[in-house]
Structure 1
Amino acid sequence: MFRTALRNVLAHKARLLMTVLAVMLGVAFVSGTLVFTTTISDAYTRSSEKSFGGVDVQLRAARSGAGHDTGRLLDAGLLGRARALPGAASATGSLSGFAALAGEDGRLAGDGWATIGANHDDSRYPMREGTPPRSDGEIAIDARTAARTGYGVGDTVRLSVSGPVLKERVTGVFSTDDGNVAAGGTLTLFDTATAQRLFAEPGRFTEVDLTAEPGTSPEQLRQRAGKLLPHGVEAVTGTQLAAEQADRNAASVSTLSQVLLACAGIALFVGTFLIVNTFTMLVAQRTKELALLRAVGATRRQVTRSVLVEAVLVGLVASAAGLAVGVGVGAAVRAVLSATGSTLPDGPLVVGATPAIAASALGVGVTLLAAWLPARRAAKIPPVAAMSSVHAQATVRSLVVRNAFGAALAAVGGGLVIAATAMADGDLWLGLGAVLLLAGVFVLTPLLSRPVIAAAGPLLRRFGVAGTLAGQNAVRNPRRTAATASALTIGLALITGLTVIGAGADKVTHEMAAGDWRADYRVSMANSGPLAAGTDATLSKLDEVVAVSPRREVPARIDSSVQTVVGFDTAGIDKLLGIDFTEGGFAPDRGGTAVVDEETATAKGWRLGDTIDVTWPDGARGGLELTGVYRSAFDDGVKTDISVTDPHLDRIADTEIFVKTSGGPSEATKRTLRTALGDSPAILIEDKQELVDGITGTVGIVLNILYGMLALTVVVAVLGVVNTLAMSVHERAQEIGLLRAIGLDRAGVKRMVRLESLAISLFGGALGVGLGVFFGWAVGKLVATMQGIDSWTLVLPWGRLALFLAVAALVGVIAALWPARRAARLDMLAAIQAE
């Protein structure tokens, strides 16, 4: 039976080629994504390990699970006690913070979040050229930044540390293995006194780095250091620091990896329809052959096994090809990102065991799973029935059962989707409903194909005999038509759903910005970090400014968990933000008060007048009287006045500042604000329209990336249509020969096949667009319910929907090119004699 299976694979190489291609594409994207992710993660890990190679333990401000730190600074006394620790060979005070180095074009050099300044350390940053900075006005830059910007020793550069622009002279260029630099950031070094003034306070540090004596492990040293630490400070090992930095840097490409894997999974799912279709048709064409095998003694299991062996062989070939292509995909993705300005760490391409195992498991597994149903169906056919072909048509009872089952699935799935949109936690129910609805539609697709394609009959008949025959051929085998159209249905349903969600999100964003955002400008840092202390005071002194409020995020412990308390200048906040209070409001004239969002208040059981117990970053405990409850879609949590938060902070740091001006937003006003802040490359000043454009622009970029990735499903759908038409032409060779013999010319044959392909593709496209609109509405409605957004409405981008249907038609035209040409070139006499 194995030899029989092998012979069948070799005998049907051309027919199985499309299946191999479909599986290969999905496997290539999965293995390529794994190769890319493994390569980048390995490079970041090695770079980070080198970066912290001389640090065994670090003392720093304690961090919560969300990544926020307490902002605590370390003084010289703690540094002295750390040096005296048993087992500590050395202890060095270090400082780090955001330092925006401007390139020659005046813009920020490097990625904002990884644009770092620090104090110089001879052991960690050896000079390649020049000398280290020794006084105010001197800096050293890393070699990668020097190469990227063209700066060298002796140049004067523009620099900002969350405040006015500084003009510094480059005294040296140094080498570093810092993972942030490898990730595309910059590292600027200052002398220690200057770094303390810029990033902390005189005599204080942001970190203390310890090295262990021989015989003392980093963990032992960490435990000893932990006994010295004041509240809000923690000790971590160098290994943990390297892992954190590597994870943070690798996270910059994790979203892309997840998108690639998701789209590859969708492509493989779509490919299963092609595989099922292929093996169903192959088995149908070999029915008599399989019957003869049964007649000469083969069992049902042997027949099933022979078909599955064919599937395994096809899967192995597709997996091997997919892995080879996947390695190229991984290298290509890395090259494309580097070419588009994304700085990635150097390192070899890593092809580990995971991509190879995943490629084999996916390729063989998907093919085997898809071929199981045709194999089982073939084995169940009695030999006598197979030889007489009485098995060819499905019974009325089987069709009734199938349609009833499909209708039930679709009804339950659709009901779950609709019900989930009104639930605050209905994401799982919506997902389950979507799966059931899709399954039900797929089961019902053969039933749906007849009336839908029949409705296009009048249009097809305009093309004469060829059009009439095309319509009849398209519905002759409804199951085959359904399987072929389903691949295109999935792709267009996803693309349409994303488009509908994007259109709705764009409208909601504009409406929310108009209602909730009353400020003319938002001032923030390019790296989303803290602005310099006093920035709000600088802005409030301008004649054009009528209201200013900072937004200060303070990590505090509330009900045994670390949460962010947000501080505003609440006296004039109503001029800047439209907070939707359902009860009460801010009470700026009363000290120690706060407001909270409606969802949190309900979850905690808080009511107006209750006291919220808070432990601040400096360890002080206090209570906040709840004076207001508000409705929020995004910016929720506990909010209070800055007079409450500031006494507990070592450093006053604002994440953003809202500004209201007398004349409204204008270019002149923006220039005035920028000039007042020193024309810093690190500071962003955005008006309402720019903020909205930034949000919607990000959504647009994500949609375009997803469109590109989901185009893979359309490619697989094309292969499916080509495969179906090719096999249909092979099955109908005798029929085509007779049509040629009675007068249908080659052009008519081509037109017949093309119109059949067009009808099938448009059917799948229309079904996909309809499902996509429904799913897009449901997801948007669910998100609006979960976020408390009342303004969500269904927005139908008619132009794009028409474009998607045009794409479906184009798929049909392209897919029919080769089968139509093959059909037209059939020798009519040989075709008539074919069995």
Structure 2
Amino acid sequence: MFRTALRNVLAHKARLLMTVLAVMLGVAFVSGTLVFTSTISDAYQKSSEKGYDRVDVAIQPDRKDSDSGNPGEAPKLPQSLLDQAAKAPGAASATGSVSGFAAIAGKNGKLIGEGFSSSGANYYPGTGGKDARYPMKSGRAPQGAGEIALDAKTADRAGYKVGDTVRISVDGPVLKQRISGIFTTDDGGVAAGGSLALFDTPTAQRLYAKPGEFSQIDVKAAPGTSQTALKAAIDKILPKDAEATTGKKLADDEAKIIAQGMDGMKTSLLVFAGISLFVGIFIIANTFTMLVAQRTKELALMRAVGASRRQVTRSVLIEAFVVGSVAGVVGLLAGIGIGAGLRAVMNSAGATVPDGPLVISPTTILTSLGVGIVVTMLAAWLPGRRAAKIPPVAAMNSVHAVATTRSLVVRNSIGGVLAAAGTVLAVTGGSESMLGLGAGLLVIGVFVLTPLLSRPLIAATAPVLRLFGMPGTLARQNAVRNPRRTAATASALMIGLTLITGLTVIAGSVQKAVDKMATDAMKADYVVSMASMTPLSPEVGKKLSSLDQVTAASPFRASGSRIDGDYQSLTGVNGKTIGKLTKLDFTAGSFAGLAGDKVVVDDKTAKSHGWKLGSAFPVTFEDGKQGRLTVSGLYKGNEMIKGIMVDAATLEPHQSDVADMQVMVKTKDGVSTATEESLRKALGDNPAIQIQDKKDISESIAKFIDLMLNMLYGLLAMAVIVAVLGVVNTLAMSVFERQQEIGMLRAIGLDRKGIKRMVRLESLVISLFGGVLGIGLGVFFGWAAGEQIAASMATYELVLPWGRMGVFLLLAALVGVLAALWPARRAAKLNMLSAIKAE
């Protein structure tokens, strides 16, 4: 039986090659994902570990242990604590660190580095006047407020050298600094494509903290002192609002964070790999069903001479095992290439990752081989079991071939129940998990019902197909001749187009909602903020307010507070001008009189606290001082503007570090290129500051949505490619099964062109059938998901992207045309006499 199974595998090379390709693509996706995420994770972890080589114990502010009860940030660490740590038993040295954002402009005036990884820190001279963390490659350490040192990778990218003057921004205003030195570093942010600028310690403290304060103190242990012993000694000198952590724990914690970050990416990619494999299951099941059907008499003869049902099933499973093993090995090798390729793509796109070897773990190898073999054998098990059940005499006479009416009734009943349950859950579920469950049940239900749906939907194409004469009529009849096979083939394409259409509908609807939100909520012409989303200096708002062309400006600044025992962010605005810059729907009160202890609150926050117009409530401000605020207005919040708004002058005395999230600006001349350029010049042509009008805000979100969509389209393209292989496979086997029929058609006058047209039209009909089902289901899922989104986004409304849906339908048609090329050519080349004589 084993030899027979191997012979059967080798006897159908072309057909089984399609199956191998289908499985291989899915396995390659899985193994490529595992290789890529393991490689990136390993590179970041090793880079992180290097960063903690010189840290045995780190002292950091600890908000939890602060006895002040203030809702603001924990106090920074004083110089006195640094001095004590350096003298602690077992300590060799102590280094004070302070850091934050620092945007560096290239020679072209544009921001270099990776935004959030564009950082600044202090150079802390230790033994010999050097900072061991940052060895100087050339030049010297920065001295005084006008100098910085720059990391070597950034200097190379931007073409800077010692002595050059660079434009740098920490929180808005532009600083012109001279490069005093270029250094090397193991900093993970720099290794990942970011930039690092070093200031002398007093300058860094002025920019990122306060004079004499540090955000972290790193202590190096003396020879013979363990990290645990040093930590125990440090713990004795710590104030209540500080904590000590060993370097090993810091490295382990960061490794866990990196691993968790990679887990999210890995899960997302594996979902799409799973979709490709799921689509591949249809092809494998189709292939083995047809291969078994073609060998029915052979299997019956084996049963007649003594083979048991188990042996027949086992022979089919052995074939599947061989196919799955080959597909698993090839898919693993292809996946290693994909993993390396994805890393190269990230590097070429500017998202540089730390250097490191390609990681191919035993788990990746076992998973890839296991997935290939298990998926193939599962898909082949049902056809093998079905073949083994056929009585030998019935198989010899081929009376088993027609599916019974009872089996179709049972199938349609099950499909109807699943589709109905899925629809109900998707519409009334009320949560993402129920929506997901409903979506899954509906897809499975529609798949089960596709043989039933195929007849009326394909029959609807009859008027068009008649235009092609006899080949068109024959194509329609062939497409519905075996509804189960047509259903399985169309379902592979349906799943891919369902996901693509659903995502497109959701993305288009969200984009429209954001556009409407920006238009409805803003009267301001521009919103000014840091490109890195870091705090903006209040000097920027003051500068803008002083310009003649600016008629109104207001900062938006966040300040922590505690209300009813819970943390609550307060938004500071200019009470006099905010009404001219925003367009909010007030249900009670207004912005008038927003000053002193008066606040305006969005309706959801007010409802959660039980507040009404005139309600007064106690508040603990950022600095721990208590006060009482009164509600003077209630408005309908949205994703752009919501929460508790208070006059900025009320908040400022309680803030240790005054900074804005953004500044809204209204100008005399409105939105224009000239106005934007003048605002940019007034702010010193700062590359770290972005000035956006409503259209820019909408386009930035649209750009992000389009980027995500394009990534998802690329990932789902794998499922579409697998679906193409499925159509090719089905048509090739259909041609093989209909050799006699095709020979007869040729004999009675249908020429080669007619045969090709018949096969192509059959392929086109099956593909469009899958496309119509997929687009229909995708629209439904887009609508159902939109109902969930609309609950939290008032401006959300369903938008059907007719243009893109038309493209998707054309894509389905293209799939049909391309998939038919080889089968149609093969059918046309059949020798009519040989075909007529074929069994």
TM-score by length of 1: 0.93
Name whichever of 244-253 and 126-135 sits farther off. 244-253
Distance 1:305 1:629, change over 3 A: farther
The residue number in structure 1 matching 2:97 is 94
CA distance in 1, matches of 2:563, 2:303: 74
The residue number in structure 2 matching 1:16 is 16
Name whichever of 102-111 and 129-138 sits farther off. 129-138
Distance 1:378 1:648, change over 3 A: farther
Secondary structure of 1:519's aligned partner: coil
The residue number in structure 1 matching 2:35 is 35
Contact 1:466–1:751, Cα closer than 8 Å, also in 2: yes
The residue number in structure 2 matching 1:436 is 441
Name whichever of 148-157 and 538-547 sits farther off. 538-547
Contact 2:173–2:540, Cα closer than 8 Å, also in 1: no
CA distance in 2, matches of 1:118, 1:734: 80
Find out whether 1:427 has 2:427 as its counterpart. Answer: no
Please, which runs of 5 or more residues in structure 2 have no aligned partner? 65-70, 125-130
Q: What is the 5 A alignment of 1:648-659?
A: 648-659=654-665
Distance 1:344 1:139, change over 3 A: same
**Could you report, residue by residue, the CA deviation over 1:336-381 in whole angstroms, capped at 9, with x for unpaired residues?**
2212222221111111123212212221222222222222222332
Contact 1:273–1:487, Cα closer than 8 Å, also in 2: yes
Contact 1:62–1:69, Cα closer than 8 Å, also in 2: no
Task: Give the CA deviation at 1:722.
Answer: 0.3
Name whichever of 349-358 and 716-725 sits farther off. 349-358
Contact 1:32–1:328, Cα closer than 8 Å, also in 2: yes
Contact 1:610–1:625, Cα closer than 8 Å, also in 2: yes
**Could you report, residue by residue, the CA deviation over 1:71-92 in whole angstroms, capped at 9, with x for unpaired residues?**
6332223323333444433222
CA distance in 2, matches of 1:124, 1:584: 57
Task: Give the CA deviation at 1:593.
Answer: 5.7
Distance 1:183 1:588, change over 3 A: farther
Contact 1:750–1:820, Cα closer than 8 Å, also in 2: yes
Name whichever of 363-372 and 296-305 sits farther off. 296-305
The residue number in structure 1 matching 2:423 is 414
CA distance in 1, matches of 2:234, 2:613: 44
CA distance in 2, matches of 1:777, 1:729: 40
Find out whether 1:114 has 2:117 as its counterpart. Answer: yes
Find out whether 1:59 has 2:62 as its counterpart. Answer: no
Q: What is the 5 A alignment of 1:333-348?
A: 333-348=342-357
Name whichever of 70-79 and 578-587 sits farther off. 578-587
Secondary structure of 1:744's aligned partner: coil
Q: What is the 5 A alignment of 1:732-811?
A: 732-785=738-791, 787-789=792-794, 791-811=795-815
Return the letter of the residue paired with 1:104.
K
Please, which runs of 5 or more residues in structure 1 have no aligned partner? none
Q: What is the 5 A alignment of 1:491-506?
A: 491-506=496-511
Secondary structure of 1:390's aligned partner: coil
The residue number in structure 1 matching 2:639 is 634
Contact 2:595–2:647, Cα closer than 8 Å, also in 1: no
Find out whether 1:190 has 2:190 as its counterpart. Answer: no
Find out whether 1:567 has 2:572 as its counterpart. Answer: yes
Find out whether 1:479 has 2:484 as its counterpart. Answer: yes
Return the letter of the residue paired with 2:555.
P
Return the letter of the residue paired with 1:723.
N
CA distance in 2, matches of 1:179, 1:788: 38
Contact 1:757–1:815, Cα closer than 8 Å, also in 2: yes
Task: Give the CA deviation at 1:384.
Answer: 2.7
Task: Give the CA deviation at 1:124.
Answer: 0.7
Distance 1:163 1:809, change over 3 A: closer
CA distance in 2, matches of 1:42, 1:278: 40
Task: Give the CA deviation at 1:62.
Answer: 4.4
**Could you report, residue by residue, the CA deviation over 1:436-473 in whole angstroms, capped at 9, with x for unpaired residues?**
11111111111111111112122212222222211111
TM-score by length of 2: 0.92
Secondary structure of 1:754's aligned partner: helix
Task: Give the CA deviation at 1:189.
Answer: 1.2
Contact 2:45–2:258, Cα closer than 8 Å, also in 1: no
Distance 1:708 1:518, change over 3 A: same
Return the letter of the residue paired with 2:803.
G
Contact 2:528–2:691, Cα closer than 8 Å, also in 1: yes
CA distance in 2, matches of 1:566, 1:234: 30
Task: Give the CA deviation at 1:687.
Answer: 1.4
Task: Give the CA deviation at 1:776.
Answer: 1.4
Task: Give the CA deviation at 1:816.
Answer: 0.6
Contact 1:70–1:232, Cα closer than 8 Å, also in 2: no
Find out whether 1:817 has 2:826 as its counterpart. Answer: no
CA distance in 2, matches of 1:555, 1:141: 34
Secondary structure of 2:93's aligned partner: strand
CA distance in 2, matches of 1:395, 1:249: 56
Contact 2:105–2:111, Cα closer than 8 Å, also in 1: yes
Secondary structure of 2:148's aligned partner: strand
Contact 2:98–2:122, Cα closer than 8 Å, also in 1: yes
Match of 2:384 among 372, 375, 392: 375
Task: Give the CA deviation at 1:58.
Answer: 2.6
Secondary structure of 1:500's aligned partner: helix
Sequence identity, in percent?
60
Find out whether 1:464 has 2:469 as its counterpart. Answer: yes
Distance 1:650 1:354, change over 3 A: farther
CA distance in 2, matches of 1:743, 1:701: 54
Secondary structure of 1:534's aligned partner: helix
Name whichever of 517-526 and 442-451 sits farther off. 517-526
Distance 1:664 1:453, change over 3 A: same
Task: Give the CA deviation at 1:613.
Answer: 6.4
Contact 1:71–1:649, Cα closer than 8 Å, also in 2: no
Task: Give the CA deviation at 1:35.
Answer: 0.8
Secondary structure of 2:536's aligned partner: coil
Return the letter of the residue paired with 1:705.
M
Distance 1:619 1:237, change over 3 A: farther
Find out whether 1:490 has 2:495 as its counterpart. Answer: yes
Name whichever of 705-714 and 507-516 sits farther off. 705-714
Return the letter of the residue paired with 1:331.
A
Count of paired positions: 826
Task: Give the CA deviation at 1:234.
Answer: 4.3
Task: Give the CA deviation at 1:162.
Answer: 1.6
Task: Give the CA deviation at 1:7.
Answer: 2.5
**Could you report, residue by residue, the CA deviation over 1:27-49 in whole angstroms, capped at 9, with x for unpaired residues?**
11111121111111111111121
Task: Give the CA deviation at 1:126.
Answer: 0.7
Task: Give the CA deviation at 1:799.
Answer: 1.9
CA distance in 1, matches of 2:234, 2:600: 39
Name whichever of 19-28 and 681-690 sits farther off. 681-690
Name whichever of 447-456 and 292-301 sits farther off. 292-301
The residue number in structure 2 matching 1:79 is 82
Task: Give the CA deviation at 1:660.
Answer: 2.3
Find out whether 1:543 has 2:548 as its counterpart. Answer: yes
Secondary structure of 1:442's aligned partner: helix
Match of 2:682 among 667, 670, 676: 676
Task: Give the CA deviation at 1:562.
Answer: 5.0
Contact 1:474–1:481, Cα closer than 8 Å, also in 2: yes
The residue number in structure 1 matching 2:365 is 356
